Amino acid sequence: MISLRVSDLKQYIYCPRILYFYYVLPVHRRVTRKMEYGKMEHIEIQKLEKRRGLKPYGILEGKRSFQISLSSTHLGIHGVLDMMITSADSNIYPVDFKHSLRQKDLHQKYQLAAYAMLLEEAYQRPVRFGFLYLIPSKTIVPVEITGSMREHVKKVISAIQNVVMGERMPAYVRSKQRCTDCEFRNYCADVG
Ligand code: SF4
């Protein structure tokens, strides 16, 4: 079993075929301007976050840590969390910086849940809530990490492992919008 990236969950929920191109049939990927711009934006947010208090998160006192590397052989995933808040009463919260304008997109929530599960294992304490930081609107969205989200994360990890081990191209998502925006569009011969 290979260790998957936390971001693979988001990709799989967007379209399972993306993971096939990434792991089974590796194709050339361009570093797009959007990706480079995204990295710069994350650095800017870190600077902004260091200057302000934790009130927008509903936390009175605590500290922030950035770029936390996490991995779990038990879950079979790894990733770098944008920010972690440790409150004065020792609770920990994952914060995932997002570029989407749409609040509470499904794939964003499950990625956050995966980070919460990684934090629980690394710090040996329960994580009940996390936050999505929506970059364009500078909005903070609290997300409860529920039992069903944890189960879904495990199901998606197992489904991705099946794609990788089975080496079969999954069916494409019937969403014109997704395919139009997708960087792998040229490799999907059956997408009209
Ligand atoms: S072009 Fe469409 S079917 Fe192909 S990987 Fe992208 S989203 Fe999936």
Residue 169 lies in a domain: yes
Between the CA of 90 and the centroid of ligand 1 the distance, in Å, is 43
The per-residue pLDDT for range 124-163, each reduced to its tens digit, is 999 999 999 988 888 899 999 999 999 999 999 999 999 9
Residue 132 lies in a domain: yes
Query: Which residue range is the domain that position 89 belongs to?
Result: 4-186
The per-residue pLDDT for range 85-116, each reduced to its tens digit, is 999 999 999 999 987 656 446 677 999 999 99
Residue 153 lies in a domain: yes
Crossing angle, helix 147-166 and helix 6-14, to 10 degrees?
Answer: 80
Residue 83 lies in a domain: yes
Q: Examine the pLDDT at 190 and tell me if it is beyond 80.
A: no
Measuring from each residue's beta carbon to the nearest atom of ligand 1, which residues come in under 6 Å? Answer: 15, 17-18, 172-173, 178-179, 182, 184-185, 188, 191
For residue 148, is it left (φ>0), alpha (ψ between -120 and 50) or beta?
alpha
Between the CA of 162 and the centroid of ligand 1 the distance, in Å, is 18
CATH number for position 167: 3.90.320.10
Residue 192 lies in a domain: no
**Domain count for the chain:** 1
Residue 64 lies in a domain: yes
